Amino acid sequence: MSLDGVTDIWDKLVGAQPDPPVLLVLLTGLAALAVVLTRLPWRIARNAITIAHEGGHALLALLTGRKLRGIRLHSDTSGLTLSAGRPTGLGMALTLLGGYVAPSLIGLAGAWLLAGNRITLLLWIAILLLLAMLVLIRNAFGILSIVVTTGAVFAVSWFASAQVQAVFAYAGVWFLLLGGVRPVGELQTLRARGQLRDSDADQLAGLTAVPGLVWVGFFGVVNLGALALGGYLLGSAFL
């Protein structure tokens, strides 16, 4: 590839795209909300939230010096991240803390990029993160999920028009922001029924002596805050 070709790709990657129509921002947000609130679409799309959730565990495990054993994604939209290290202490606590807040915080980062009209850059960062996660997957369904998701993002970023890229990026970021909130409510519902005794919140309670309900509340505050700030950033198109 010539130097001019490399330069063109770089300019495409880091350059800002035109402001999206206000209606696009609004309709993608409403579409994402409809997916989050309806049973079957949520059941299908929730896998993206699981990918982000387990990625959050994995990232915090690596950042705190734990040895990452692998990630498993399951067809029921559950997941498992295994790491080795001290079973107690700050590193383990942060690793547990990273899961439920990851989708919303990733969505917030995406909203910040979209506020600067960096749509293509957002899509390529997503591709790189997914490829990094693929190396850590340890089961067939997980590999299939990551490959299909990566392929879809790549196809949109490379072959689709600027308008289609914008729809895809805004819908994805809205979904992460909105979809990050619902699992926290589901978590507390299952805990109240006694059906999830080893949840992240309960494991954190065992490590810190802070009640599990407080940790659930913390997840909720962080995710609702990310939704509010992310929504403001995405809504800057209205200003």
pLDDT per residue as tens digits for the range 29-76: 999 999 999 999 999 999 999 999 999 999 999 999 999 999 999 999
Copy the structure tokens of residue 80: 């498992």
pLDDT at 7 over 80: no
Confidence (pLDDT) at 4: 56
pTM, entire model: 0.94
Written as one letter, the residue type at 157 is S
pLDDT at 110 over 70: yes
Confidence (pLDDT) at 150: 97
- pLDDT grade for 138, boundaries at 50, 70 and 90: very high
CB 236 within 8 A of CB 135: no
pLDDT per residue as tens digits for the range 154-168: 999 999 999 999 999
pLDDT at 139 over 90: yes
Average pLDDT value for residue range 86-100: 96
pLDDT at 217 over 80: yes
Report which of residues 205 and 7 the model is more confident about. 205
Return the residue matching tokens 């921002």.
25
Q: Where are the domains of the chain?
A: 20-49+100-238
Confidence (pLDDT) at 11: 61
As a 3-state breakdown, the chain gives helix, strand, coil percent values, each rounded to 5, of 75, 5, 20
